[in-house]
Structure 1
Amino acid sequence: MEVSFKVGRKQNMIFVTVGTHEQQFDRLVRCVDRLKAEGKITEEVMIQTGFSSYEPKACRWSKLCSYQEMNEYMDQARIVITHGGPSSIMMALQRGKIPIVVPRQKQYEEHVNDHQVEFSRFIEEKQKNIIVVEEIDTLEKVITSYEKTAAALGQKQSSNNQRFNEKFEAIVDKLFEGKRR
């Protein structure tokens, strides 16, 4: 059952967003829900499930969130886990978060091709300010070691944050230019 989540005070929580692409992303939603149910994630979890068919049992969730709700959830979250969509990644980075990025993959019928995998790998290699998880089996370990990993990346990012955001926006603009033609 879809559950509303009270937005407001700062919490120790994890926010998961799968975007609004019309294909399911059950692989990510199911994994996070299982980790919460097994007690491997102890904090509050809010999942924006999009068009996933799996409905979480242990986590709060909503199919879609308004732009304002997305901003508030990201601001509140200790950890943001997102699909490999440029806008979601940029939204997290603009809020000072180092997101865990789980790109949608064609082999799981999560997208029409593997552009999210390619894009995520590119950003991880060039900018070194996101944590990419392609194999869902490794998500638990990445969440467990998040603070240490994010701190190391954050130190590298802080002096170049503004420059990165400008370059990232240019990359996103170029991607969308190709879609408009």
Structure 2
Amino acid sequence: MIFVTVGTHEQPFNRLVKKIDNLVAEGTIKEKVVIQTGFSTYKPVHCEGHKMMSFEEMQKTLKDARIVITHGGPSSFIEALQFGKVPIVVPRQEKYHEHVNNHQVDFTELIEKRMNNIIPVYDIDQLANTIENYDKVVKTKNAGESSNNSKFNEQLERIVEELV
């Protein structure tokens, strides 16, 4: 199962929700997909969609997912990391009116460079290829079941402090 979460930011992230739905429709993704759509106005037709999920539902879905795809909000991809998942991170972009600026792009680039424990996708047209090669790419990352969560959290805290 693939779990996609766009978080709770009030601007829609239709670009990601629609892309995933289309990948399922065309048969590129063959497994079950659950999407937490948040304030997106596009409603998935080929995936199981939930506007919001309770904490318990989110935790269970994260735990059960083979692949987690998130927006670039740190709490979303940190949660995936805490479950030993290497998330695919598709940051919201200002040019698509998905956020007020490009801080998700900047933060995703910084975490990729410093931590190497996420799989960023900046060009949505690369998402299918990233999903297809997920198992191979994960092996090149510093995360998963053997990652040291407390060390990661300390390093992330330092990065966030530097940004503020």
Answer whether TM exceeds 0.5 for this pair: yes
**After superposition, what is the alpha-carbon deviation per residue over 1:9-34, rounded to whole angstroms, capped at 9, x for unaligned?**
xxxx0000000000000000000000
| CA distance 1:119–1:140, shift in 2 (3 Å) | same
SS for the counterpart of 2:141 is helix
**TM alignment of 1:26-175, pairs within 5 A:** 26-154=14-142, 158=146, 160-172=148-160, 174=161
Amino acid at match of 2:25: A
Q: CA deviation at 1:163?
A: 1.3
Q: CA deviation at 1:170?
A: 4.7
**After superposition, what is the alpha-carbon deviation per residue over 1:47-69, rounded to whole angstroms, capped at 9, x for unaligned?**
00000010001000100011111
Rounded Cα–Cα distance in structure 2 between residues aligned with 1:141 and 1:166: 32
Q: TM-score when scaled to structure 1?
A: 0.84
In structure 2, the gaps of 5 or more residues are none
Q: Does the 8 Å contact 2:87/2:119 carry over to 1?
A: yes
Rounded Cα–Cα distance in structure 2 between residues aligned with 1:51 and 1:67: 17
In structure 1, the gaps of 5 or more residues are 1-12
| CA distance 1:126–1:154, shift in 2 (3 Å) | closer
| CA distance 1:60–1:120, shift in 2 (3 Å) | same
When the two chains are superposed, the root-mean-square deviation of aligned CA atoms in Å is 2.0
Amino acid at match of 1:167: Q
Q: Does the 8 Å contact 1:129/1:157 carry over to 2?
A: no
Rounded Cα–Cα distance in structure 1 between residues aligned with 2:54 and 2:145: 29
Overall identity of the aligned pairs, in %: 55
Number of corresponding residues: 164
* Structure whose alpha-carbon radius of gyration is higher: 1
Rounded Cα–Cα distance in structure 2 between residues aligned with 1:76 and 1:169: 27
Amino acid at match of 1:55: K
Q: Name the counterpart of 1:9.
A: none
SS for the counterpart of 1:31 is helix
Q: 4+ runs of 1 displaced by more than 6 Å?
A: none
SS for the counterpart of 1:47 is strand
